[in-house]
Chains A and B, each alone.
Chain A
């Protein structure tokens, strides 16, 4: 039998507000344990939460970006459970009335638009972190993360493959980055997800029993978890077994999931309205103004790029996914000195390679649209070769110099003067008769060698296309 996969995702994103959600402690990752916490975020007896309004602003922005209805009157609820990293023994979250509800997001899968429903987006606080120390009989708790603001984005079970799940996650991540409301650093846990998977016979409209995999910490992990779980469920069904609804823990290192708890011993969270906080009431104007302030989002940008700049779907996708790259691209376009094609090629080529190698973002470097377009214009005009362009680029990012100055300094201006090049080529022909013979005997790669020799003779400054042309004319 053929099966169809049904996936729903719950994405938790930490919001990059200055302070925590219910107190004024700094919201900052990576500090020494238990240094960013106060009586409020550690839930000391008698303390009370007060809501950071920035959290509402960020969550409403995300709601607008995902085409949701905003509940202008909503409340916060307590979700009660015991865990050592949860100091109040309840998490302040939202239960029956989330801030944002019923939206959708369009994602691109293999060049095709696919619409995925958004069930809800709600705000909540993060818990602390347990540190399991082998030298110590027990575990230690770091409360720095307590009270870091989170939004939970719950999708409809509209996702039908691991590939779609990946596209959805990438889109959600890039929207968060476009809105500048989360730094989305997976290695810091600032974006995590829970994965719901079920399978059903192909063509069926009745969903199978689902299993939830908790705390998948990377997108690639999500893809592997979905593939693993689909396989597990199909094999189980094929072997005559039945799927039981349960929560499973994804072990990314082992590439497998293990049962955590079944439906029977599921938590009763005893949700009830948080009595220490007031009802959230948002004015029409506030909600509208946030909607107006939305930047152009990745999907719209994508459509516009393909239409205006004749870039490929794949290149556009890569450009748009990263807001810094998209911005650099547009800034370069605005300067109107070189073609969209060369800008795109350089951003996705040399610049991306450099960023990956150095683990930097564009804002960490001194790459600006001014410098880049100056360089690309010189290349496009044929004043320097592409190879020299790479040399200039390296110098440009290593120093504060402008490309023009670097070209001058290094004497990289390309020789395009025909009579001058002819002399060089003739000289190479005279000294490489063996290669000429080889070429005439059908060894076409001898031509490459000869062009290379020409380049060497001009110290890389000869225009290779022109020299090749001359070479063919002289030996042809």
Chain B
């Protein structure tokens, strides 16, 4: 049996019923990686030996009759901007090409507490900046549904690995749509949790006030399962919310009778392809037929969200990335005569174009004389966007929008046009600006055979509602799990 094609929920049951072992599952995933990785290029680092070791340990614990987490023994891949002790963590950048963290990110510690098996570290756009996974120093990841197409970004490796069966579950990070967009392009589920619900400790920061770690999976049940494991207050992250979280799997409830689904008109405006609009509207109708109420709503500040997003995220990035100076770790130029030259050459040679572009933009908007004109206004806009969302959530329970404006584009198609590339984030960035949770789930395929994604957005800490409505849709369409032949 091709175990790698199954969901974590299915595998977890099989493990408990002794129908297979964790080592068998892990070997199935490793074999799959061996067979298709040269086509997909999802991984920067594969940790086969560690994976087998961890799987063996799970099997031993199960044999002893230990009560383990439902995630125990499940192969999980992690985006390569999340620190894993003693395992290379590069952020897909030359500047960190040799960086081995001396500590674990909180999310990885929590996964280890749940006895998962680590398959390796996944490719991304350098420092999570990008929408196509083409901006990696190491490799370009392909979309498993069509290898000539991008998987979306920046968590392209994480989305592609789950879609291709190269991992059962993965973690990514989402600063402006970096989980949801690749989830939509690759036809999998991607959750951007409420800001503060998952610890950022150990996530190499892109934009601290917007970044959030979240999971990829091939079912809602799987998504809820891994989210339950990673969420929760962390004393190492001052911005993590001090609150209790339910078991999201046990609380799944697919009764959507009376659920008010808001359809914000700005997300269905020009710029979004007709095919995508149509698919999302069909999904909305299907939910309406099953008891939901569709509510037309408006979020007028959406038009400015992209500008605010690029100002805030680049400002924070310019500061967060300043530590990569060649002094303590990572790449250091060989070509310098003094300290300033060392900094300059290290950073010139170590960072890619997209990262440099954003550092320059961020440095500019924070510089004296421009701060008020850009950064301060972007922060005001942020407040306005949050207020609009809050008002909208008085009219409806969740919002439904397309995730991307279109299906995945071809590798190389937009890489020379940063503005065009930035426009891909238009449906996703508002959520990060407002700190809200959102989930992207598959909603059919386009005529070109590529997946289309739609996104549910909810008020802060409404993840359970997002899982519930998504699960209803998943049940109605007969599941999302669709591992392509490669």
CB within 8 Å of B: which residues of A?
39-40, 42-51, 78, 80, 82, 84, 87-90, 141, 268, 270-272, 275-278
Please tell me if B217 contacts chain A, counting CB pairs below 8 Å: no
Extra inter-chain contacts (8) besides given A45-B89, A270-B367, CB under 8 Å? A45-B101, A45-B323, A46-B202, A46-B203, A50-B236, A51-B238, A80-B319, A272-B319
Residues of B within 8 A of A84 (CB): 325, 327, 339
Question: Which partner residue on chain A sits nearest B211 by CB separation?
Answer: A275
CB <8 Å contact, A45 and B322: no
Give the nearest-CB partner of A139 in chain B.
Answer: B339
Contact: A43 with B323, CB < 8 Å?
yes
- Does A275 contact B316, Cβ atoms closer than 8 Å? yes
Q: List the A side residues contacting B339 at CB < 8 Å.
A: 84
Instruction: Report how many residues on chain B are interfacial, defined by Cβ distance under 8 Å.
Output: 44
Does B343 sit within 8 A of A, measured CB to CB?
yes
Q: A90-B319, A90-B322, A270-B367 known; A50 and B202 CB under 8 Å?
A: no
Q: Is the pair B101, A82 in contact by a Cβ cutoff of 8 Å?
A: no
B238 touches A78 (CB 8 A): no
| Residue of B101, B203, B316, B328 touching A87 (CB-CB under 8 A) | B328
> Within the assembled complex, what's the spacing in Å between the Cα atoms of A48 and B239?
9
Choose from A43, A47, A268 the contact partner of B367 (Cβ within 8 Å): A268
* B325→A82 contact, CB < 8 A: yes
Known A-B contacts A50-B237, A270-B319; A45 and B204 likewise in contact (beta carbons under 8 Å): yes
**Which of A46, A51, A276, A278 contacts B204 (CB under 8 A)?**
A46
B363 touches A270 (CB 8 A): yes
- Say what secondary structure dominates the interface of chain A: loop
User: With the chains together, A404 CA to B195 CA distance in Å?
Assistant: 72
Given contacts A42-B328, A45-B323, A272-B319, contact A277 B101 (CB under 8 A): no
Of all chain B residues, which has the CB nearest A38? B103
Cβ of A342 to closest chain B Cβ, rounded Å: 55
User: Are B323 and A46 within 8 A (Cβ)?
Assistant: no
Contacts of B227 in A (CB 8 A): none
Residue ID in chain A nearest B102 by CB atoms: A39
For A272, the chain B residues whose CB sits under 8 A away are 315-316, 319, 366, 371, 375
A268 neighbours in B (Cβ, 8 Å): 367-368
CB distance from B110 to the nearest CB of A (A): 15
Assuming the A-B contacts A44-B101, A87-B328, are A49 and B322 also in contact, with contact meaning beta carbons closer than 8 angstroms in the complex?
no
The chain B residue sitting closest to A76, CB to CB, is B238
The answer to whether B238 and A270 have CB atoms under 8 Å apart is no
Partner of A88, one of B200, B323, B329: B323
How many residue pairs, one in A and one in B, have C-beta atoms under 8 Å apart?
99
Q: In chain B, what residue has the closest Cβ to A90? A: B319
Residue in chain A with minimal CB distance to B237 = A48
Subset of 23 A-B contacts with CB under 8 Å: A39-B102, A39-B103, A44-B329, A45-B329, A46-B82, A46-B204, A48-B200, A48-B236, A50-B236, A50-B238, A80-B319, A82-B322, A82-B325, A84-B327, A87-B323, A87-B328, A89-B319, A268-B367, A270-B318, A270-B319, A271-B366, A272-B371, A276-B238
Question: Is B99's CB under 8 angstroms from A45's CB?
Answer: yes
The chain B residue sitting closest to A43, CB to CB, is B323
Q: How far is the CA of A45 from the CA of B325 in the complex (A)?
A: 12
Given A87-B323, A272-B315, A278-B328 contact (CB < 8 Å): no
Query: How distant is B373 from chain A, measured CB to nearest CB, in Å?
Result: 14
Q: Which residues of A contact B375 (CB under 8 A)?
A: 272
**Distance to closest chain A CB from B460 (angstroms):** 15
B280 CB within 8 Å of chain A:
no
- In Å, the complex CA distance between A88 and B363 comes to 16
The 10 closest A-B pairs by CB, nearest first: A89-B322, A275-B208, A275-B209, A270-B366, A45-B204, A46-B202, A46-B204, A46-B83, A50-B238, A39-B103
Q: Which residues of A contact B318 (CB under 8 A)?
A: 80, 270
Asked if B149 is at the interface of the complex by the 8 Å CB criterion, the answer is no
Q: Which residues of A contact B367 (CB under 8 A)?
A: 268, 270
Contact B238 A44 (CB under 8 A): no
CB of B189 within 8 A of chain A? Answer: no
Contact between A89 and B205 (Cβ–Cβ < 8 Å)? Answer: no
Q: Does B201 contact A (CB under 8 A)?
A: yes
Taking a contact as CB atoms under 8 Å apart, the answer to whether B102 and A49 are in contact is no
Which of A43, A46, A277 interacts with B238 by CB under 8 Å?
A277
List chain B residues, Cβ under 8 A from A270.
318-319, 363, 366-368, 371
Whole-angstrom distance between the alpha carbons of A275 and B207 in the complex? Answer: 9
Is residue B285 within 8 Å, beta carbon to beta carbon, of the partner chain?
A: no
List residues of chain A with CB within 8 A of the CB of B91: 45
Shortest C-beta distance, B320 to chain A (Å), equals 9
Q: Distance (Å) between the CB of B217 and the closest chain A CB? A: 24
Complex alpha-carbon distance, A84 and B336, angstroms = 15
Instruction: State whether A141 and B202 are in contact (beta carbons under 8 Å apart), knowing that A50-B235, A270-B319 are contacts in the complex.
Output: no
Give B346-369 as 1s and 0s: 1 = Cβ < 8 Å from A's Cβ atoms. Answer: 000000000000000001001110
CB of B96 within 8 Å of the partner chain? yes
B30 interface residue, CB < 8 Å from A? no
